[in-house]
Amino acid sequence: MDKQVAALRAKGVLKMIPRNQVPKGQKLLKTLWVYDLKVDHLGYVIEFRARIVGRGDKQRPGIDYLETFSPVARMATFRLFVAISKQLELTIYQGDVNTAYLNALLGIKQYLEDLDGYPCDEDGMVYMIDKALYGLKQSGREWNTEVNAWFLRYGFKQCSTEPCL
């Protein structure tokens, strides 16, 4: 759990602010911990995982978030991509971005009372969420926007019929 909170702080996801700086009418969200096990190919537990998530179920549409949709490629398109790559003898690579959502800025700032089990260090302070936190309705959309912008900056072109390609 300490590792997860350290990642939030290192990525600049949360910033402590005085409670009186929270905009009037803004709801303070809560968090909860989600636990999981990482197992090896034989099914043996090799790691216990914990992730802090925002209570997106308490967010208000049109106030706390606007868009939630992020595209996914159709399976037929992916199969075509693999077939063409094979025909041209190209190598396909995949990657993973560690704590991906935590790299995307939030369009509409959210606020937390505290992190479950990790209260603010000072009285009268709350957390402002600057970046997409797991569990928020808009986090997937914000990450998709961020990663698309990165690819476009480096000269890639987005497919008009498959926006995530």
DSSP letters spanning the chain? -HHHHHHHHHTT-EEEEEGGGSPTTPPEE-EEEEEEEEE-TTS-EEEEEEEEEE-GGG--BTTTBS--------HHHHHHHHHHHHHTTPPP-----TTGGGGSEEEEEEEES-BTTB--SSTTEEEEEEEPPTT-TTHHHHHHHHHHHHHHHTT----SSSTT-
Residues in the chain: 165
**Alpha-carbon distance 74 to 77, whole Å?**
5
Q: What pLDDT was estimated at residue 116? A: 82
Residue 120's pLDDT band (boundaries 50, 70, 90)?
confident
Q: Where are the domains of the chain?
A: 2-69+98-144
Residue 164's pLDDT band (boundaries 50, 70, 90)?
confident
pLDDT 10s digits, 58-111:
999 999 999 999 988 899 999 999 999 999 999 999 999 888 899 999 999 999
Integer Rg of the chain from CA: 19
User: What type of residue sits at position 108?
Assistant: I
pTM given for the model: 0.82
pLDDT 10s digits, 6-37:
888 888 999 989 999 999 989 999 999 999 99
Residue 160's pLDDT band (boundaries 50, 70, 90)?
confident
